[in-house]
Amino acid sequence: MGAKQVEFLEEASAEFKAAFLWYLERNSKVASEFADSLTRAIQAIAEAPQRWPIHLGGTRKFVMRRFPFVIVYREAASAVRIVAVAHAKRKPGYWTRRL
């Protein structure tokens, strides 16, 4: 079975962009590493979405190792929908209104 298609909610895309720009203002190498790490995480989620634990509202979450972010997602029949690229230490559960 192949990897599922990945769709980002508009808010999740904006969160990724904001985090990337924050890192870029401080260090371009770290910004690149953040983007690469997120890309690898998304690929892993697409290949095995049920691998990570169930979270709030029927979502699942992938905890990034090096960066303080979690990727909150929901699995559908043919796709994985990224609900949030959330900072792990700020406003827990703020994204639940998106469900």
pLDDT one-digit tens code per residue, 41-90: 999 999 999 999 999 999 999 999 999 999 999 999 889 999 999 999 88
Half-sphere exposure of 99 (CA within 13 A, CB side): 14
Looking only at Cα atoms, what is the longest distance across the chain? 40
Handedness of CA 86, 92, 98, 99 (dihedral sign): positive
What pTM, to 2 d.p., does this model score?
0.92
Structural domains in the chain, CATH included, are 5-98 (3.30.2310.20)
Tell me the three-class secondary structure of 18-43, residue by residue.
Answer: HHHHHHHHHCHHHHHHHHHHHHHHHH
**DSSP 8-state assignment for residue 92:** T
